Amino acid sequence: MFVAQGHAGRTMISCDDGRTWVADQSDQSWGYCSPESGRDCDHDSGAARGITWGDGWFFATFGWGTPSTVRRSLDAITWETLPVSESSFGGMIYGNGRLVAAARNGKYSDDQGATWHDFNAVELTTWNVRDAAFVPHDGGRFIMASSSDYEKIVVSSDGSSWFATQSAPAVCGGSVPYQGHILYGNGTIVMTGENGVICSSDDGGQSWTSQVIAGGLRANGIWNGSEFMAWNYGILYRSSDGDAWSSTETVPSGIDFSVTAVSDKGTIVGVSGGWDQHYDSQVFYRSEDGVHWDVLPRDAYAGGHPIKAVAFGYGQPSAHCPL
């Protein structure tokens, strides 16, 4: 199933390969994050900051500028709040049986979040972790991208001791405000920035190179099993190696989404996320190739609070997702 995570503690799921979205639930009522409300939902206890899946569990963290919370679920419908808190977690990572709540003062768990431990060491001089991921490179690497006045990338082989990269252009790690910008395929780590910069590493994150491929990238990006993909206002940018990129206009033209994810079947989903593109203006998309897109009809989902991340994984059956 796909599981979408949004502000105001929102979650919703698709168990039919992105065709419909159900089990839409939130901590707050409709319109909580609308401009008329006057609330800053990006800096709120319900702010969506990352979601991941591992060993049968979905894990999500909420809260930015306030103490973060971490929740877990086996079916993505019934969520349990876990005994861990920090000022602001910037993502959730699961790899090699270890769950990591990403932050400068981050935590890790080896029992699916039941108990937690502090990081052993972090060579991180910036405060705000913006994105984090696990990549299966050479036994596995955990990666955090952080920024405040400048950008920083740190890498770990165990999710506890983190070390600064040997070399990375100054632009790498910036413009990645939410989880989903760190990708892996064909032995290469790729980071897609909203500023249109692509950073890549073929040595497990120790050294990076950068290039500008567009004036901006709206969506976080995916690896579909054969290609890296990223989008910007109806243009698909893709690469098999993270180095040479080509562009193709989408069908229909001008589609606009800022959150995307891919299933193990290669199905891609997207959700609109620009200014005031929520509630009645929220749009969900589905594609099988990244070029041709279906705009889902309004009876396939309910508009609501801003969606900031989507994860794919396998959950237990429920009334919404029977076998």
What does each of the 323 residues of the chain score in pLDDT, given as a tens digit?
Answer: 999 999 999 999 999 999 999 999 999 999 999 999 999 999 999 999 999 999 999 999 999 988 899 999 999 999 999 998 777 899 999 999 999 999 999 999 999 999 999 999 999 888 899 999 999 999 999 999 998 756 889 999 999 999 999 888 888 877 888 999 999 999 999 999 999 999 999 999 999 999 999 999 999 999 999 999 999 999 999 999 999 999 999 999 989 999 999 999 999 999 999 888 999 999 999 999 999 999 999 999 999 999 999 999 999 999 999 87
- Does 40 map to a domain? yes
Q: Is 101 exposed, middle or buried (0-12, 13-18, 19+ CB in 10 A)?
A: buried
For residue range 281-303, what is the model confidence (pLDDT) as tens digits?
999 999 999 999 999 999 999 99
- Does 55 map to a domain? yes
Determine the pLDDT at residue 236: 98
Task: Count other Cβ atoms within 10 Å, centred on residue 53.
Answer: 20
d(C-alpha 61, C-alpha 294), whole Å: 30
d(C-alpha 235, C-alpha 247), whole Å: 6
Q: How do strand 80-81 and strand 92-95 relate by DSSP bridges?
A: unpaired
Determine the pLDDT at residue 150: 61
Phi/psi for 298 (5° steps) reads -65, -20
DSSP annotation of 251 reads B
CATH assignment at residue 305: 2.130.10.10
- Does 144 map to a domain? yes
| Residue 247 belongs to domain spanning | 2-312
Sheet of strand 2-6, all strands in order from the earlier edge strand to the far edge? 22-25, 10-14, 2-6, 307-312
Helix (H, G, I), strand (E, B) or coil at 207: strand
- Does 241 map to a domain? yes
Matching residue, tokens 């976080």: 220
Looking at the structure of the chain, the number of domains it has is 1
Number of H helices, E strands in the chain: 0, 29
- Does 322 map to a domain? no
- Does 209 map to a domain? yes
- Does 320 map to a domain? no
- Does 9 map to a domain? yes
The pTM assigned to this predicted structure is 0.96
